[in-house]
Structures are given as C-alpha cells and as structure tokens.
Structure 1
C-alpha cells in the first residue's frame, strides 16, 4: 500500500476507506503480536493464531498484487509497440495509461461515494474498462473492492480474537522503548568470546608444533555448539603458530560441500589471489595448483565442519606429505570420523565447568561491568541449566542482555529453562534456541528466519541481506531514517543477541559479512518450515505447496525437481538460489524477488530468460544475463523495481526506460559492463537512487546531475577512444554538485585521457570514501591537496598512477578524519614525508602494496593514537626496515603491548632474509 501510495505513477488506485481500515488493522495486529505469548511457544508447531494473521496479510497482498499484475500483463499481451527498440516511450501506451487512470478515478469516486456503479456513460471509458477485464476479472475495480472487503472483514474478526486473548507481557524488551540506540551508547558486546583453559590450548598446540615429520591430521570432535570451531580459530590465530608454518589456510566444508569451491578457497588463501580470478578454473586445475603451492612448504590447513569421510577423500590427496611436520586440523561432530582421520589422536571437546560457564555468561550479559549482586543467585541457576554448552550460554546471555535486569524478568527465563532439563543435549539446545527466537521483537523475527535461506556456513554480505529484507518488506522507515540504516540496526540487534555472528569487518570497522552457527541455522530452517515462511525445493512442507511464497533452491538440486515443484506454487513472491539457475515458469507473474546470488563460475550458462519481461511485479533482481535488451524490452512496466544487480557477459546498453523508474534504489553492473545512455527529455527525477555501480563511460551532464540528486555511492569506469577523451566530454567536474555523495570510485583505462579530467575534479564535501585508479601515468600530486582537505573523508585508496616528483608530503591539517589509507602500485613513489608530527589524527589502518621503490615510511606514523595495523605487501626492503624501526621505537617508549602491529607479506624465497625481523608486533607472512 505504501508503494502504491508513494509511486509517481501508480498502476492502480485503492479505495481510501479500505486503505484506512487495512492500515489500522495491520498496525493493531502487529502491536498485538509484539506482546502476544503463544501457548505453543515451547512446542514443535506453529501457533494457529499467528498463522491465521499471516494468512490474512498474504490474502491482502494477493488481492492487490494480482490486480496490478493482471492489469499490466493483459495490456502487454495485446499490444506490440512500434517503438519498443527505440530510446523513447510509446505514445499510445502513455495515452492508454492516462485513460486507465482517468477511468479508475471516475469509477472509484463512485465507489467512495457509496453510489451503485452502473455502466459508464462515456463510450470511451466503457470500451477501455471492458478491454481490461480478463478471464480472472482481477482488472475489475469492483472485484478488487469486494475482495479487499473480504480480507478486511477477516482482519476485523482477528482483532476481536486478539482483544479476547490474554496479552500480559512476560517482560519488557529494552529496544521496544528505543529501537535505534546509537552504537556509541550501546553497551560493548562481548562478541561471544569462548573460554578455554591453558591445558586445552597447550594440548592442541603441542600437537601442531611437534617434531613428527610426517603430515598429521588432528581431529577436534564434539556436538554442535560445544566450541570446536572457536577452539580451532583461537589456536589458528596464535602468533607462535603463524611463525611455525609457511602457509596457513582455512576451509569450511559443511554437509552440502562443493569440492571446487573448497579448492578455490584454499588456493585463494595460499596464493593470495582473489577468488574471482579463479572463477573459471576447473576443479582439477585448482587441485593441481594447490598441490604445487603446498609442495616443499610446511603448511597448516584447517578443514572446518567435516560431515563424512567422502569429503575428506575427495580433497586430501591435494595435501602433499612433505616430511616437514605439516598439519591438518579437522573439526567434526562425528566422533567415528576421528579414527578414520587419525588412529592415534583426537581431541574430544568437553562441556565447560561451572567456573568457565559463569565467566562466559557474565561477559555475555554485562561485558566488563559488575554483575549485580541481587541477580547472582538466579543467574547461576540459569547457567547451570545451560549444562556447560557454550552455545546455550551465549544464546541465553543474548536474551538476558536485551531484557530488563529485574528478578521478575530473569525468573521467567529460568522457569522456561526448567522445562528443558530432561531433554537430551541436541533437543535441549534446539529448544533453548527456540526460546531465544520466541523472545525476539516481532520486527526481528522475519529478519532472523530469513538467514536460513543461505547455504550452511555462508559468509553473507551485510549489503546483500539488507537489500533482501527491503525487497521482502521487512523494513519500514522510522523517524526519517533510510531503510539501509534501519536494516543495519536490525542486524546489530541479531548480532547483539548472539544469533548472528560477525565474520568480517570492513576497513573502517563496520560489519561487512556475517555467519550463522549451524545449530542456529537449523532453527531458522525448522521454524520457517513450520510457519510456511519459505519452502526449500525437494523438502516436505506441513502447509502444502500451493500457499508457498518464498522459494529456496539449494545447491545440487536437480532442474527437473525445481521445475516440477514450481508448477504448484502460483503465489510465489521470491526465488532465492545460489547457483544462478533461474527456472522458466509461466505462473510467476507475482514474483517480487529473483536472487541468484553467486557468480563464481562465469563459464556456467545460467542466464535468466526473457520471461523476466513478464515479471512486472519485480522489486529485486540479482542475476546473470546475456544481454539487457531482450530481457528488459518492457522495462518501464517493472513498476516497483528497486534493486537491479546484473552480471552481463557482454557490454550492455541499459534501456532509456531506466530513467523513468524513480522508485529504483540500486543499479549495479558486475564486471563493469553496463552502459547508461543519456536520459530523454521526459525522464523522471530519480529521487530514490542511492547506488550506481559498474557503469561504463558515464557522462555527468547537467541533466544527469539534476536527475540523481540523492546518489550516495558511485562506481564508474572509463575506457574509449582518444577522440572521446577531451577534458569535458564526461563532465567529471559536475561531480562536485552531488551533495549527498558519500562513496566514490573512478577508474580509467590507459588510453582514456584521464589526466586533465581528474585534475579538474572537485569533490563533494560529503565524501567519506574515495578510490581513484589511473592506468595511465597520471601524477597524483596534482590532486592530493584537494583530497586532503575533505573534512569527512574516512577511507582513501590510490591505485596505479604515479608520483611525478617521486615525493608525497602530508601537510598539517590534511586528512582530519581519515581512518583507512591504501596505496597500491603507485609508480615512482620514493619519499613519503610529513610536515608535522600530528598527521592523520584518526588513522587506524594502512595498506601498502607493490611500492617497489618506496624508500621510507614517515616515522610520525608511530605516534598516531588510534593506529591498529600497518599491512605491507611486496614493497621495498627499505620500507620494511622503516616499519620495523617504527615498531622498535614505540616498543622502547611504550613497552611490548603496543596498540598496533605491523604485518609484512613477502615472497617465500625471502624467508631466510626476513626471519631476523620477526618479533613482537611485527609479523612476516610468506606468499607463494
């Protein structure tokens, strides 16, 4: 309803009285559910009242969206535009659309006045009205009104039931009072740190560093949630282990493993290549390359979460036995595997003792704060009911951290745990996780369940999950906040409750990727199945197939099974599949989301079909296409498209209709292949467009700037003939007019005359992230002064280009907010100096790569108060010596416990020369 109400040219109109009734009912039912305590919350079934409410909401969606889709599709099927291949709108289509809106206004004004609608007196209106009546009759405004009225009556009945239901709340959730707590005022999260005794850690480490020359496999076994992976990670990151082995790499296996992906992950880590560079390599080639990298070197490989011996057998022959004490650490739930991996040794994980359990629980709930004395007794009772299982302690702690710290609230948790005492460990843990789900605020429950659509052990991009939440309608604007900000707060809410794990932080400290523990994901899948929240192809559903709205296609699902199952799902709104095979089905007119989210193997011909042009209800499209033109010949009929992320096999011109879709928020071209032509004179103002990425040779004309006023992120690439490269051809100077721009990346090929254009760039004062790449010999000194004056810049990267003078002097008061600095392959940079000792006051991370002639690093860098890490890869020996001197000087002044460390990556053949430099706060990593 919001989409229709705020659309610049809505496909239908809704009766105002019905909108008011639906809105009031939905808000009432949402508030009811927030305080509702289900009588079956501790049972393995969905709550009937909750399901009835969901069904009523789905029914309203079906009525409205079926009316929209049928109206648009019936018109498209009966008319072939003579200008469909031109960069213009069809005049007849526009006139008919105007007539349609006029007819709706006339007809529905009669309904609103409660006047019985007779035949339209106007012959033109009558003919238009009749032409939109299809066999389903959903194009009929009267039918729409009647169907919605039926839904409203069902919601009215549900309100009556809700009022009669006992809605006394068990506790008050903290974030009900203030959903958007600033991260600066939020209590610091413990991060779910595990507690391991010195005995456990030393036992594993002794096996890793033992002098036994043959390749050894070290199994770590135990039930899910007991801390196998956490133990492996703790040992894996120890400095003494890193120094012991030439190569360290980690692979996650899982039940539904893919040998090629595992090999790609290991080759990427051992060779330091990007995984995208390996996307076209076969399994055999990757295995051979891995074997060659590991041959002759002492390596440590972690194989996390192995489920059967077959997965080990398929990959173990790529790990050579070099006779140099190489090790492979394996984690598994299956104790019987340990004897097959190592006849002599395995490490079975034990439950935490009382003391360790209490320490972990205290850290989770109160961090470094004092544990309230009045809650200690009941807290220890709660901990004892967790049975020493770390995951249970972490999850229960996540509940208690987010409720009122009162005896009454904590007693309700203790009482719920009492009913779980007699269950075996696996069921105990799952029921305990279900309790955590039951205590989630209503707005977080669908966000949590949605984590189960991804494959086991997936590292999920935060930007991806938030876009999906937006497309599914889980997020609504609150207090003027944009949806992406709200999505990040929701994700932090799940992380804060330890239901979602942080997997990777971005360069400036924001969460970049997340993971879900296997057992937590099991709960997502189980609960989603019970509630009919989404359906996994090939699995049974207690709610039947006909009502399924979200469809998940797992890896290795046969195309025949996919096609057969999809035929019986006419109400499908979302298709989420990993491998990119979007099925061709005729009954998907209501689809809102197509998300084929992995593009690892570009050789696979998994293109979406031209049938997408009939999916007029799409909000979110992430897929691989051969070409844009045939798929989006009817682009302007995608009335509600918000996210478009496309991998094109060839350069593709985006139809001009894209400029008439002001509701779109993200346009992203993978592999830099999208070409946006200039907007036509009747193009709309793209007020919602926030991200434009992967476009080629984009021109920032005055007209374009006017039509994208709220753009926040730009990623633009330039290449072309020299004739098109004069100073103002691409109008890069207009970028300074983009007053909302936060992130900018500009890359130019060697034959693009970028020098003059980049020199004329003036950057918006709003920029926080800037990346510039020049494959020519553009001299960066000409623009560093302007960049250094940007008041909000936090992240800055220079790729290639050169320093004509060979020198970069950082002046006083430059880069006042910079947190992350990266210099890559900048030719001829020999001298890096500082005018003052107070440079880069906010800098946290520095990355220097392939600076072959860099003679020094400013010694003043060691005085930066917030510095965490300097990362140096394949730079000059003089730069590495300089970094070592910075560390030694600061250790002399501050002691060995410096707040920052330096990591240097050098080729393996330099190992002997660099060995003497290794020490506290100075790590050397050797690459192939």
Structure 2
C-alpha cells in the first residue's frame, strides 16, 4: 500500500531533519518541503489505497496515482541513503590537501550536485501528484469509519462468505466436535458471574461457524432466557449494535420493541438494555471483533446479574480477547487448524457432495491429497477449493489444470477470490508499522520455518523497527513479532524451553496473499527455477532467490535493491558478490546462508549501507579488510564458515550489535573441547561499544589484553570465550562485572585440566544462561544468587561437593545439564522441594556417579530427563516414579544392566517408568556425532 511506503519515507525524512549536523547548506529546506508535501498527501492515502484496492470500482487513473506516490516514496528513501553516504565521505576527508583527498572532494561535489538535482525533481513530482489528487476527490479517512453493525466493509461489492458461516447446516460441519463440547460446557456450567468466552484464530478457521453452531444448539437455546447474535466486523456504530441487540431480544421473547427506539442516544439505549436484561439469563454472541476498545464500548450494556449469563466473541486478535479480562471472567479457546483426517473428510464433502457418493475416486486421490495438504487444515480454504472442484469434471486432466494454476485461480476465480479477500482483511487492518514486517515473511519460500531472531534483526536492518527510547530495538522488534502472532497472522512452529518463540511461519494460502501484495507494491521480486531472465526488469526493492541458476547475476543491474535473500545453494555466487560490491548500493540486508559462496570480494566495503550480513554455513574462508568500511553494519553472522580470524579492521564497526562466529564439527567423534571452535580477534575490540552478542572468541591469541578491553563492552547481553587459560581468570571476572546487561555467559578452558578461578565475581544480576566448561573444583558462590538464571551447563568442573546444593533453590531455573566429569562424587541427591520449576535435566558422562536419589517432592515440574553414558549407574532412579509431569525419558549408551532392567517384558524396574509417555533407548553406532540406533518404547498414561 502507498500509505505504508509514504509513512516509511516520512520516518526517514523526520530522522534526517532531527540531525542538523548531517545537513549540508541549503538541503534542510528541501527536505522540510518534501516532508510537508508527504504529510499533505498522506492525509488522503487511506481513501486512495482503499479505492485502488477495490478492483470493481476503481479506474486505472487512481491506481496510477497510488503507484506514483509509492515510487516517489522509494525515490525519497534512495536519495536519503545516497545523501548519508556522501555526508560520511565529506566528514572523513579532513583538511589535508593530498591528491587523494582532492580527488575525493571533486567526486563528492559531483555526487552532491546529483543529489540536489534529484531532490528538486522529487519536489516537483510531489507537487504534481498533490495537484492530481484533487481530481479524484480523495477524502480524509478515519481509522474506524462508521457503518451499520452488520455491514462489513463499507462500499465493498463483493459477497462476504463470512455471512454464510452463520447459516451452515449441522451436517456440513466437520472437525469441531472437541471445541464444540468445550464451548458448550463453558456456556452451561461454571460460575454464576457474567462470563466471556473468546474464540481466537486466523481468518478462515471457522470461528463463526463453530460459535453459531453452539449458539443454535437446542441445549444452549433452552438454557438462556434471551439471546442475540451480532456481527460486528471492522465497521460498526455502537448505537447500531445496541439497537440490533434490543431488536433480537424482543424478537426471540416476543416482547414489544421500546417506543422511539431509533431516536434514542447511546446512554438511553444502555439503560434500556440493562433494564431489559436485569432479571434474565442472557447469551450474546459478538462475531468478528477487531478493536480492543470494543469491551469498553459494550461492557455497561450487559449487567452482571449473577444468573450465569454468557458473552461469546470471535476475533482474530488475541489482545482483543485478553482485553475483556479487565472487566469479565474470560475463557479463551485458540481454535486450531483441522487435523489431516478431518481436513480430508471436509474436502470430500465439498468436492464430491452431489456425486460419487461423497467419495474421492482412486484416480483423483493423489491430487486431492496434494490439494488438502496445500490448504494446511484451514477450513475456509478447503471449502472454497473443494467448492471450485465440485464444479469441474471429475477427470485427472481437469483437476491437474486447477492444481497447476492454483495461484492464478486465487486471484481471478470467483470461488476463490473471496477466500483471498478474507485473508487480506487481517493485513488491511494492521497499523502501518506492522505491514512491512508481515510482508517480509513473504520473502521466504512457502512452508519455510523462519528463525525468529534472524527475522527481527532483518526488520531492524531494513528500518522497520523504531526504538521507543525505553527498550532496546531488539525488544521492540520482539513485540512486533508477538503482535503479529496475537493477530493470528504468524504461526509458531517451534518454541524453546523458556516458552519463547524460536521459529515461525505463515499459512501457505496467506503466503500466497502476501506474495501477491508484495509484487503489487514492488516490495520484492522473486526468482524461481525456470523464470525468464528478463523478469527482473523494473523497480526492484528486494530480491528473493529460490533458484540455483546463474541467471541471478542478471538481477544485479538494478541499483535500488535494498535486500537480497538466497534460499538455494546457488551457482557462481562468487562472481555475483563481486558484481554486487563493485559500486555503492543502498543494500541493507544480504542473506546468503547455506549457499556455495566461497569468496568475499575485497571491495565488500562499497556496500556502505549494509546492516545485516549473513554468510552462515557457506564456504567463505576469509573476510577482506574492507569489512571495516561497513560503518552501518549491525549483524555479522559467519557461523559454520571456514573463517578462523577477523581482520583488525572489524574493530572499526561501532554500530555492530551482533557478532556471531563459531564452527561446530558434527562430523567428528565427540570431543567436548573440540566440538566448537571460535574466531581470533585482534586488540581494539574496546571500540565495539554497541555489541550485544559476541561469541565465540578464541582468547589465547591476544590474551589478557583482549579480555581487559572487553570491560568497555557494557551493552553485551551474550559473551562466549574459548581457549581460556588459568591466568585469565581475574581479568575475566573484572571485565564481566562491568557488563551489567549480561544475560548469557559461556566460558570454555583451553584444556581439561586447566583450572579457571571465577570466584571473584560478586554478582551478575541479569544473567539467564551460564555455560562453564572448565575445571572449577569449587562451585563459585555467586551462582547460587542468580535469581533470573533459567539454564546452566557444567562440564569438566571436577567438583568434589554435590553441585545440586548450589542450584536447587534457584527460583527461575528451567534447564540443567551436568556433563563430562563436572562432578567427582558418587551420589547425586535431588532433595524434596528442590528445583521447583525445572523442566529439562541432562546428566552425561559422569564417570563416578553410581546412584541418583530423587526424593518425593523434588523436580515437581520435570518434563524431560536424559541420561547419557553413565557407566556405573546400573539401575534407573526409583524416584522417577513420583515425577508425574514427566513426558520423556532418553537413555543413551547406558550399561546393559540398566537397559535390561526397564525392558517392558522382563525388566524388574519397568514399573518405575511405566507412567512416562515416551522412553527412548539410544546406542551410538558412529562415526558421526548423531549416528544413533534408536529404540522407542511408546507408553501411555494409565487411566
């Protein structure tokens, strides 16, 4: 949408105007004029964007106008980027009169003239665009335009299939048995207090169908004195809602309507409703609620009369459901996608409803399964596509045509366009700052599991995330992601042990909608296998490469690319990188993870605006010295590359926030100290004052001097040090204590017998994760004071005293790993009341431990317990029997007696573990680290 592009360009202009020092003479007024013109245009953009999107009503002139506004915004972004580059060069020329500097000065004068000319041209084009807007009579739009309570989107002519959800026959409903029973129980049972039941989920999940089915069931009808079903949608008036409620109540109970109903104001209507409902057990169903303040608007119309009255709401937005909690008891049901068997049943009901007895013929089963998988359990998609196929001949030829052209059919076929419009509603309702964030997910291939941290760092690099001055910009980005999840637009595909999102993705059909919007908005261009090489002509802002073809090199001719993402191994990427870096470009994100790239050109520093560089899992061996010219670089990821040493120029990158550099050798035989290797850094690291993540540094090369410099890195949240020697202990303690924001600390000794003394640390108040792979002999006292610690891993520590005594009272601890002779004793004793929140426990290669005691009342929250290669542990700990929350046991390379004792057929200790749902028996067969022979015992909880 042009509104998003203009808002983003305005933000760029605001930023540059704030910093007077960066403005050359005469430029301030030009940018100020541009700001004024953009603000004037922005006032009409909501109306213009809506009319441009309404394909039935809009002429080509309006769409052309919107496109011109968007392209002018792109030009503004580009000229600002070029201006900032030139300013940087000017500020660093100094006063010396060397030939080199004079040459630079002449070149910057030429650039400054070109910039001034471009700015004047932009001002002229904006003036023309503004004048043209008067011809189309755009209106200044409000955030929530008024309409009737059941009108849906004002001015739209398309049939809203959400309305049909209110009238689906019971025989057509599939897969809602369990949620239906849960909702009915909440309606008929429970507290006498007025209660809200919220059903939340993405568009098309069947929220309306489910709730209307429950609302109309006979046992629910007979339970309540009066009922009302109100469709809210995005456009409504509160007064219209109240009138509709009164009409429905009176119609159902056959009571006369209040006189002068349509002349009443809101206050009178609330009084009328309260009086009518005061002595009744009522049920109100508000369908499709979009705004948080809806709760405040309707709350007082519904009296809390302690008669077990109930309110149902459906919404796509979790925060709307939770907002009701401030005034009501609330039950929230997050509606899930249909499981595969129910998805297949629903598809067959729609596609073969009047033919073939509702059964799929054998010759169409393969294609039908493919279609159902494409729908990913989304009922509306299954119904829409199944409905389309019900109109086609039941032949392989006809169905194959639909499958091959499904993306095109989504845009033009009347059976499917309503599906895409319903999915689009969630995007259209987003605030402008979240729209580019959602669009960004479309850059990734369909069904791709996106790493949460990488995604948010890319948003930051692109400038989508703005700091609020109170939190780090990473925390703000995490909030953006959470909001998209709460709005049911992003699905969480994996979470960490802390319950935080690790990976996410979007539904395949929503991905199709996003990709279409991206292409319409010139947000991103896609290169797929088999694409025409000429397809890259035109304005390109971002490039998504899902091909290994060398024709990707053709795309580098466009000078406006701001992000490049590659998702396949790629061809001659070394040549591609050379061409890309040959001159300055506005590129901000370069993500080549997992490609065959083996070389980074010496002119990499030409990419002045680059903020995010991901070379992870490539064959790159060396970074050029010109990396020091990437003054705006925020994230550098070279994990699992062949880079072992950074050039000293890396220390010039004062904006660098995340420096991720290590290699893990999964191919070799297990070695705790040899499994992970870091990189060598030179002195001067103290200049990297913006660093938040630094892992892992091989410190033995620069020694104590390097460690002492680290005390200046006071923004560090994560630090990893390898090859630590005994004499570094005091320096590490002194530097780490200066890092008041530190959340993760990883220290690995240079050798197994190297004693590292960390006792002089007094406190690390924010520490959440601690990995110590070094001989300690005595547990540092400060560890037992870490109230926010959620994870600890100890290895090689050679502790004489039971380490559990220092850890058992930590209030936040969720995961404990004690490995590789971390403990030199024979008995580990988990005492009653200890480790109250611990979810994961991993004990490995503790060569002297022969007994594990678990008291009743210990480890009450434990879910996963792993034992790995404990040669003297012959029996399973009997205390496992009392661990009621245990979900999985994992035993690797345990003694033969141990394994035989828990055999389901003959094991004398099988009774100890027979309540655990999953038990894995693993045996390492080598040579690779993860080469296991696995035996799974599947168990189920007793009734």
Same fold (TM over 0.5): yes
Q: 1:52 aligns with which of 64, 68, 78?
A: 68
Structure 1 residues 665 and 65: CA distance shift in structure 2, 3 A: same
Cα deviation code 1:869-910 (max 9, x no counterpart): 13224365997966553443x6xxxxxxx5554533456984
The corresponding residue for 1:278 is none
The corresponding residue for 1:740 is 741
Question: Matches of residues 209-220 of structure 1 in structure 2 within 5 Å?
Answer: none
Aligned-partner Cα distance in 2 for 1:13–1:645: 39
Q: Verify the 8 A CA contact 2:717 2:744 in the aligned structure 1.
A: yes
Q: Verify the 8 A CA contact 1:401 1:497 in the aligned structure 2.
A: no
Once the two structures are TM-superposed, the CA of residue 687 in structure 1 deviates from its matched residue by 3.6
Aligned-partner Cα distance in 1 for 2:848–2:452: 38
1:872 maps onto 2:869 in alignment: no
Once the two structures are TM-superposed, the CA of residue 551 in structure 1 deviates from its matched residue by 0.8
Q: Verify the 8 A CA contact 1:619 1:641 in the aligned structure 2.
A: yes
Aligned-partner Cα distance in 1 for 2:47–2:225: 27
Larger Rg: 2
Structure 1 residues 226 and 64: CA distance shift in structure 2, 3 A: closer
The corresponding residue for 1:692 is 694
The corresponding residue for 1:831 is 827
Structure 1 residues 728 and 857: CA distance shift in structure 2, 3 A: closer
The corresponding residue for 2:556 is 566
Structure 1 residues 525 and 874: CA distance shift in structure 2, 3 A: same
Aligned-partner Cα distance in 1 for 2:315–2:844: 55
Give 5+ residue unaligned stretches, structure 2.
Answer: 1-11, 147-173, 181-201, 218-222, 236-285, 300-312, 317-379, 389-412, 664-676, 905-909, 923-932, 934-943
Once the two structures are TM-superposed, the CA of residue 614 in structure 1 deviates from its matched residue by 2.5
583-592 or 471-480: bigger deviation: 583-592
Q: Verify the 8 A CA contact 1:710 1:738 in the aligned structure 2.
A: yes
Structure 1 residues 50 and 380: CA distance shift in structure 2, 3 A: closer
Structure 1 residues 125 and 679: CA distance shift in structure 2, 3 A: closer
Q: Verify the 8 A CA contact 1:37 1:169 in the aligned structure 2.
A: no
Instruction: State the TM-score, normalized to the length of structure 2.
Output: 0.60
Structure 1 residues 380 and 920: CA distance shift in structure 2, 3 A: farther
Q: Any idea what SS the aligned residue of 2:564 has?
A: strand
Aligned-partner Cα distance in 2 for 1:11–1:371: 69
- How many residue pairs match? The answer is 660
Structure 1 residues 145 and 904: CA distance shift in structure 2, 3 A: same
Structure 1 residues 706 and 804: CA distance shift in structure 2, 3 A: closer
Aligned-partner Cα distance in 1 for 2:741–2:889: 36
Aligned-partner Cα distance in 2 for 1:169–1:868: 48
The corresponding residue for 1:750 is 751
Q: Verify the 8 A CA contact 2:590 2:610 in the aligned structure 1.
A: no
Aligned-partner Cα distance in 2 for 1:6–1:507: 43
Q: Any idea what SS the aligned residue of 2:755 has?
A: helix
The corresponding residue for 1:808 is 803
Once the two structures are TM-superposed, the CA of residue 807 in structure 1 deviates from its matched residue by 2.7
The corresponding residue for 1:640 is 632
The corresponding residue for 2:50 is 38
The corresponding residue for 1:376 is 229
Q: Verify the 8 A CA contact 1:457 1:517 in the aligned structure 2.
A: yes
Q: Verify the 8 A CA contact 2:82 2:586 in the aligned structure 1.
A: no
The corresponding residue for 1:132 is 105
Q: Verify the 8 A CA contact 2:234 2:289 in the aligned structure 1.
A: no
Question: Matches of residues 492-531 of structure 1 in structure 2 within 5 Å?
Answer: 492-531=482-521
Q: 1:550 aligns with which of 538, 542, 567?
A: 542
Once the two structures are TM-superposed, the CA of residue 922 in structure 1 deviates from its matched residue by 4.9
Aligned-partner Cα distance in 2 for 1:412–1:736: 48
Q: Any idea what SS the aligned residue of 1:640 has?
A: coil
Q: Verify the 8 A CA contact 1:662 1:688 in the aligned structure 2.
A: yes
Once the two structures are TM-superposed, the CA of residue 634 in structure 1 deviates from its matched residue by 2.5
Structure 1 residues 863 and 69: CA distance shift in structure 2, 3 A: same
Cα deviation code 1:689-729 (max 9, x no counterpart): 2111232217565762353221111122226xxxx753459
Once the two structures are TM-superposed, the CA of residue 463 in structure 1 deviates from its matched residue by 0.5
Once the two structures are TM-superposed, the CA of residue 129 in structure 1 deviates from its matched residue by 6.8
The corresponding residue for 2:7 is none
Aligned-partner Cα distance in 1 for 2:207–2:27: 61
The corresponding residue for 2:579 is 585
Q: 2:142 aligns with which of 156, 168, 174?
A: 168
1:61 maps onto 2:94 in alignment: no
Once the two structures are TM-superposed, the CA of residue 460 in structure 1 deviates from its matched residue by 1.2
Aligned-partner Cα distance in 1 for 2:681–2:288: 47
The corresponding residue for 1:218 is none
Once the two structures are TM-superposed, the CA of residue 771 in structure 1 deviates from its matched residue by 1.5
The corresponding residue for 2:718 is 713
495-504 or 904-913: bigger deviation: 904-913
Once the two structures are TM-superposed, the CA of residue 505 in structure 1 deviates from its matched residue by 1.0
Tell me which of the two structures has the higher relative contact order, counting C-alpha pairs closer than 8 angstroms and 6 or more residues apart. 1
Q: Any idea what SS the aligned residue of 1:739 has?
A: coil
Cα deviation code 1:185-238 (max 9, x no counterpart): xxxxxxxxx9565899xxxxxxxxxxxxxxxxxxxxxxx9999xxxxxxxxxxx
Aligned-partner Cα distance in 2 for 1:878–1:372: 70
Aligned-partner Cα distance in 1 for 2:525–2:53: 21
Question: Matches of residues 274-353 of structure 1 in structure 2 within 5 Å?
Answer: none
Q: Any idea what SS the aligned residue of 1:433 has?
A: helix
Aligned-partner Cα distance in 2 for 1:411–1:42: 26
Q: Verify the 8 A CA contact 1:471 1:592 in the aligned structure 2.
A: no
Q: Verify the 8 A CA contact 2:30 2:119 in the aligned structure 1.
A: yes
Q: Any idea what SS the aligned residue of 2:609 has?
A: coil
Aligned-partner Cα distance in 2 for 1:10–1:27: 22
The corresponding residue for 1:103 is none
Question: Matches of residues 415-454 of structure 1 in structure 2 within 5 Å?
Answer: 426-454=416-444
Aligned-partner Cα distance in 1 for 2:632–2:225: 52
Once the two structures are TM-superposed, the CA of residue 826 in structure 1 deviates from its matched residue by 3.7
Cα deviation code 1:462-511 (max 9, x no counterpart): 10001110111111112422211111111111111222111111121111
Give 5+ residue unaligned stretches, structure 1.
Answer: 76-93, 101-123, 173-193, 201-223, 228-350, 363-369, 383-395, 891-897
Structure 1 residues 651 and 449: CA distance shift in structure 2, 3 A: closer
Once the two structures are TM-superposed, the CA of residue 655 in structure 1 deviates from its matched residue by 2.8
Once the two structures are TM-superposed, the CA of residue 833 in structure 1 deviates from its matched residue by 2.9
Structure 1 residues 139 and 648: CA distance shift in structure 2, 3 A: farther
Cα deviation code 1:233-290 (max 9, x no counterpart): xxxxxxxxxxxxxxxxxxxxxxxxxxxxxxxxxxxxxxxxxxxxxxxxxxxxxxxxxx
The corresponding residue for 2:813 is 818
Once the two structures are TM-superposed, the CA of residue 516 in structure 1 deviates from its matched residue by 1.8
The corresponding residue for 2:610 is 618
The corresponding residue for 1:147 is 118
Cα deviation code 1:725-753 (max 9, x no counterpart): 534596454212211211112223326x6
